Amino acid sequence: MTNSLLADWQTEFQLPPFRDIHDEDFAPAFDAALEAGRAAYAAIAAAAEPPTFANTIAAMEQADGLLDRVAGVFFNLSSSDSNAARETLQRDLSPKLSAYSSEIVNNKTLFQRIEALWEARDTLVLEPEQARVLMLYRRMFLRAGAALEGEDAARLTAVKSRLATLGTQFTQNLLADERDWMMPLEDLAGLPDFVISSANSAAEERGRDGYVLTLSRSLIVPFLQFSERRDLREIAYEAWVARGANGGATDNRAIAAEILALRAERAQLLGYENFARYKLETEMAGTPDAVRELLMQVWEPARSKALADAEKLEAMLRADGHAGPLEPWDWRYYAEKLRRAEHDIDEAALKPYLALDNMIAAAFDCAGRLFGLEFRPLDVPLYHPDARAWEVTREGRHMAVFIGDYFARASKRSGAWCSTMRGQRKLGGDVRPIVVNICNFAKGDPALLSYDDARTLFHEFGHALHQMLSDVTHGFIAGTSVARDFVELPSQLYEHWLEVPEVLNQHARHVETGAAMPADLLERLLGAQNFDQGFATVEYVASALVDLEFHDGPPPADPMQKQAEVLDALGMPRAIRMRHATPHFAHVFSGDGYSSGYYSYMWSEVMDADAFEAFRETGDAFDRQTASRLERFILSAGGSDEAETLYTAFRGRMPGVEALLKGRGLAA
């Protein structure tokens, strides 16, 4: 039988033929793709002609075409719809793909061709984008160890292979802990209908009667907000924060320690003092000190606000007859009560106005008003019944296929993210992207979102726009292929349009009556935007600082002890814990993406707060001239220039931290 992954895809928009793809197809498809890639790189290295941009860099850009296609399908499925076969294959693939990457960067002949082009760059006739891509390829090879020889080169290859294996193991352990834990719910006291409905759906998914609580964020957070049973809140909270630290085969603590040790060794092999200095060299921040300075500017006002809020919440706890002190499993429950008291916001009354379909329509509508995009539903086979697709067009031109997969399920890892099954490029043909947004919202009929859920939807759609509007020649710099502390700018910026009153007036419609959100509720909602920002900022900044300290210095033998020392030195409020404790800190330990880089969300927030001011200054949140500049210099530009250059081209200057503090309600 034909392996569908290796055949030409005669599908609409050349979408993967999901119905014809079987798990047993992936291993031979990867083998064939790796063989094709090795042959392509060998041919580039062995070319008799002197190196040119076309026969070296452009050829390398196209060498992994088959591998990109197969991997684009597999890794999306392994994170959004995992099963035992896919998990086994992912464990087998991690060292294979790492070894393949090492083979390429350790090919001295190939590197010599790149070096020859680099040395002759002043005499080459290159477009600006080509010059940028040449520089990035050379930097990638150097940072991957291309200049190392002998034992050092071999050791670096072994280190990277082991890191790939450990990252996969960390992720799969976390997924197992999240998938396997549940708590039957018999006492539903305090829980609103939407939480009860979600708990019932979770029970049905697991083949049980009644109601169960799972570790899905979209279910456990509202449970912690509303359940009157303090004992059950404690059990649920402790299970949630214990993911990856339950002992046995899925415990991630030893894995985290080994990852940190190997990262430090990797940095030292490449000539860096520590991993943070290696990692941050190519980011906007540049140095650990710059990151620390930003985070500490935010930490002190956030901590002060959180401590003041804790006093109010503990007074409410004592008024309920509990001796105290305020515990982490109490915070969300009493914060919800305080929000109702101070802002008269009732989550249960708010959610019917935030139906999932309406919020998707709102995200699409904003993209239409800002960038002229239109979205047409597609009736095509996808990888899971919950996933749905749209064709994205502009003035009749096909721009992308967008896939949204919004509901939590046991086969999906937690969190929310944006990925591509195919990236944008023009080299070798005008290729438009297939972009995927993954969320973990509680399933319901209809599905209702919290305001935080709606923000998440807008956030991930901002990433999707970065991919959809990408307009570069080389896939190497397309879409979100930018500095890690720049990549969150488009996503966090897009969240601001959810705050625009006319957007909520139009799309926040009651799911049963179709009525617009009442003006007084809308006013209270927007007035409560900064409610509990002390808590939110403290739990985030604490995680970012722990990540930084893990990597800026000798690797800790015991990461949990190091985590405790960092939090103690910060004066972490006792009733708040890190947003992501070490054993389930997937951003940092599932791969290198956000390692030493969890601060990136805040670095980008400095820019997104300032960038939205550019729209406010025009008096129109949908000012097309400002949107055109945003698209030209940021959303379509990918990594075609340095992030600071691109942002300055859009805004005329770089911002300070003041707009961020003001936006979070933490300014003095």
Helix (H, G, I), strand (E, B) or coil at 528: coil
CB 624 within 8 A of CB 464: no
pLDDT of residue 380: 97
pLDDT tens digit sequence for 554-608: 999 999 999 999 999 999 999 999 999 999 999 999 998 899 999 999 999 999 9
Mean pLDDT (whole number) for 516-542:
94
Kindly give the interhelix angle for 150-180 and 253-269, rounded to the nearest 10 degrees. 160
pLDDT tens digit sequence for 639-653: 999 999 999 999 999
Q: Give CA–CA dist 484/282, Å, rounded.
A: 9
**Which token pair is 662?**
């003001």
Q: Kindly state the percentage of the chain with pLDDT values over 90.
A: 94
Of 118, 144, 170, the one marking the end of a domain is: 144
pLDDT tens digit sequence for 461-487: 999 999 999 999 999 999 999 999 999
Out of 61, 265, 460, 605, the active site residue is 460
Q: How many domains are contained in the chain? A: 3
CB 298 within 8 A of CB 658: no
CB 90 within 8 A of CB 83: no
Mean pLDDT (whole number) for 234-247:
97
pLDDT tens digit sequence for 362-404: 999 999 999 999 999 999 999 999 999 999 999 999 999 999 9
Same structural domain for residues 137 and 55?
yes
| pLDDT above 70: residue 1 | no
pLDDT of residue 529: 87
Per-residue burial over 426-464, b if 16 or more Cβ lie within 10 Å, else e, is ebeeebbbbbbbbbbbbbbeebbbbbebbbbbbbbbbbb
Active-site residue, 395 included: no
Of 478, 503, 526, the one marking the end of a domain is: 478
Same structural domain for residues 241 and 358?
no
Q: Kindly state the percentage of the chain with pLDDT values over 70.
A: 100
Mean pLDDT (whole number) for 40-47:
97
pLDDT of residue 544: 98
Of 249, 277, 304, the one marking the end of a domain is: 249
Helices (H) and strands (E) in the chain, counts: 27, 7
Same structural domain for residues 458 and 376?
yes
Residue 576 lies in a domain: no
Residue 176 lies in a domain: no
Cis peptide before 446 (omega within 30 of 0): yes
Instruction: Output phi, psi for 565, to 5 deg.
Output: -65, -45
**CATH number of the domain that 39 lies in?**
1.20.1050.40
Mean predicted lDDT score pLDDT of the chain: 96
Same structural domain for residues 19 and 124?
yes
**CATH number of the domain that 398 lies in?**
3.40.390.10
Same structural domain for residues 359 and 451?
yes
**Which token pair is 36?**
């094709």
Residue 347: band (very low, low, confident or very high) from pLDDT cuts 50, 70, 90: confident
Same structural domain for residues 126 and 193?
no
Residue 16 lies in a domain: yes
Mean pLDDT (whole number) for 67-75:
97
Name the pTM for this structure: 0.93
CB 57 within 8 A of CB 130: yes
Residue 654 lies in a domain: no
Same structural domain for residues 207 and 91?
no
In this structure, the strands spanning 374-378 and 397-407 are unpaired
Helix (H, G, I), strand (E, B) or coil at 664: coil
Other beta carbons within 10 angstroms of residue 620's beta carbon come to 12
| pLDDT above 80: residue 668 | no
Residue 559 lies in a domain: no
Helix %, strand %, coil % of the chain (to 5): 60, 5, 30
| pLDDT above 70: residue 201 | yes
Alpha helices in 19-83 (DSSP H): 23-46, 59-63, 65-80
Q: Give CA–CA dist 614/631, Å, rounded.
A: 13
Residue 420 lies in a domain: yes
pLDDT of residue 444: 85
CB 659 within 8 A of CB 613: yes
DSSP-assigned states of every residue in 178-240: HHH--EE----TT--HHHHHHHHHHHHHTT-SS-EE-S-HHHHHHHHHH---HHHHHHHHHHH
Residue in this structure with the two tokens 């894995």, named with its chain if needed: 255
Q: Give CA–CA dist 602/610, Å, rounded.
A: 13
Same structural domain for residues 190 and 137?
no
DSSP 401: E
Name which of 574, 596, 577, 576 is nearest 587 in CA terms.
596
Same structural domain for residues 120 and 237?
no
For 136-140, 189-193, 346-350, 453-457, which range has the lowest pLDDT when averaged over its residues?
346-350
CB 438 within 8 A of CB 385: no
Residue 619 lies in a domain: no
Same structural domain for residues 131 and 197?
no
Residue 332's contacts (CB-CB under 8 Å, 6 or more residues apart) are 221, 224, 225
Residue 445: band (very low, low, confident or very high) from pLDDT cuts 50, 70, 90: confident
Name which of 500, 397, 513 is nearest 458 in CA terms.
500
Same structural domain for residues 371 and 448?
yes
Same structural domain for residues 390 and 462?
yes
pLDDT of residue 225: 96
Residue 625 lies in a domain: no
CB 128 within 8 A of CB 57: no
Can you give the residue range of the structural domain that contains 370? 352-478
Residue 635's contacts (CB-CB under 8 Å, 6 or more residues apart) are 371, 465, 466, 469, 470, 490
pLDDT of residue 659: 84
